């Protein structure tokens, strides 16, 4: 049963857009339309720019993203959005709490600029760069503005550092369709595992310039592994028994080195003495964000010895489907671990 509602993943003033850009709101899970309106306000005087019904064709939903296409381009300035509870729900029907944007609560505000570029980290749709993505990481974007536009600097900042690594030569050209791309070969070699970076792109029309900062991206290229000490734990034998008997459910819990993301885990299992201990996704989630819980119901005639729980061939004995760390790195196992 799903009783947890969707939440926003983008917060106040984290969005800067071109005047003709669509508004894209990211949620924590897949969503669908409820009932009601989305209202766009101008921050300078709190006037309503546009009221759009959630079932209007100007609004589209794809998985966990809500896209709003205002009727007219927004002039340069700062705006915010309001929506009541229930305008959006998750796929189970749990109502999103809504956006009030009252007083200090500016949950989803954004600014528009006449001179602007989008910035996308290629390979970082989830705001992470994992081990399989790191050798193809690149930047791309689309510019907006009048005149002949050029990129005059790209700078990468680690965390809250105010001094970054700048690229001032070999910068990407802006194509006729307004797109640009910084190839992987031009990316700084200093970008390191465990660090979070933003990219700041300076765009010029020959007279004026503006610097736009990307969303933050974290490099995580380390695969999760079982913890070093006692990674596996076995459920206790029921009180009053000397061994498990037919009908008892044995739980085998694996603790990993980092938080895991469980998607469609069908088929995930650990094979012990020829028996399939099947991953229980719900129990795993309840046990903790670094734990995997496998279960087996004892059958009449089963004979499983303590030594059977030594996993000497994890490649064949452990199957994990669609289980990764939050960056998308798959778990790695060694014998007896």
Name the fold adopted by 15-113: Immunoglobulin-like (2.60.40)
Q: Residue 13's pLDDT is what?
A: 47
Do 116-219 and 15-113 fall under one CATH topology?
A: yes
Q: Calculate the average pLDDT of the chain.
A: 87
pLDDT in tens, 14-50: 455 666 678 888 888 899 999 999 999 998 888 999 9
pLDDT in tens, 193-225: 999 999 999 999 888 788 999 999 999 999 999
Give the pairing of strands 37-42 and 48-53.
antiparallel
What is the share, in percent, of the chain residues with pLDDT greater than 70?
Answer: 91
pLDDT in tens, 258-316: 999 999 999 999 999 899 999 999 999 888 889 999 999 999 988 887 778 877 778 88
Q: How far is CA 110 from CA 11, 22, 41, 73, 79, in A?
A: 9, 11, 10, 14, 5
Q: Residue 17's pLDDT is what?
A: 64
What band does 111 get if pLDDT is binned at 50, 70 and 90? Answer: confident
Given a cut of 90, is residue 242 above it in pLDDT? Answer: no
Given a cut of 60, is residue 336 above it in pLDDT? Answer: no
Alpha carbon distance 272, 317 (integer Å): 7
pLDDT in tens, 79-95: 889 999 999 999 888 99
- Determine the CATH number of domain 116-219: 2.60.40.1940
Domain-wise residue ranges, the chain: 15-113, 116-219, 232-325
pLDDT in tens, 167-191: 888 899 999 999 999 999 999 988 9
pLDDT in tens, 134-166: 999 999 999 988 788 999 999 999 998 888 899
């Amino acid at each position: 049963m799903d009783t947890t509602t969707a939440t926003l993943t983008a917060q106040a003033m984290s969005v800067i857009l071109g005047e003709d850009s669509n508004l894209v709101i990211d949620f924590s899970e897949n969503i669908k339309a409820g009932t009601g309106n989305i209202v766009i306000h101008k921050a300078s005087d709190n006037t309503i720019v546009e009221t759009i019904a959630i079932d209007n064709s100007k609004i589209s939903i794809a998985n966990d993203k809500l896209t709003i296409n205002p009727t007219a381009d927004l002039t340069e300035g700062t705006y915010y959005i309001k929506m009541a509870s229930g305008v959006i729900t998750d796929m189970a029907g749990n109502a999103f709490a809504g956006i009030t944007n009252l007083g200090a609560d500016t949950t989803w505000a954004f600014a528009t600029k006449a001179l602007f570029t989008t910035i996308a980290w290629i390979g970082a749709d989830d705001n992470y760069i994992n081990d399989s993505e790191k050798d193809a990481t690149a930047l791309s974007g689309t510019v907006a503005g009048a005149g002949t536009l050029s990129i005059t600097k790209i700078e990468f900042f680690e965390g809250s550092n105010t001094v970054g690594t700048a690229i001032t030569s070999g910068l990407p050209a802006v194509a006729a369709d307004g797109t640009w791309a910084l190839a992987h070969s031009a990316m700084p070699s200093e970008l390191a595992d465990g660090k979070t970076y933003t990219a700041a792109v300076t765009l010029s029309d020959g007279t004026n310039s503006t610097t736009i900062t990307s969303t933050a991206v974290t490099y995580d290229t380390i695969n999760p592994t079982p913890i070093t000490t006692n990674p596996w734990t076995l459920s206790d034998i029921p009180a009053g028994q000397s061994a498990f008997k037919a009908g008892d459910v044995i739980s085998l819990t694996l603790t990993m080195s980092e938080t895991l993301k469980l998607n469609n885990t069908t088929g995930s299992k650990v094979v012990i003495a020829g028996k399939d201990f099947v991953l229980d996704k719900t129990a795993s989630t309840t046990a903790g964000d670094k734990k995997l819980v496998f279960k087996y119901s004892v059958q009449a005639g089963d004979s499983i010895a303590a030594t059977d729980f030594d996993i000497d061939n994890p490649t064949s004995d452990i199957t994990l489907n669609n289980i990764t760390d939050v960056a998308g790195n798959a778990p790695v196992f060694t014998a007896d671990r």
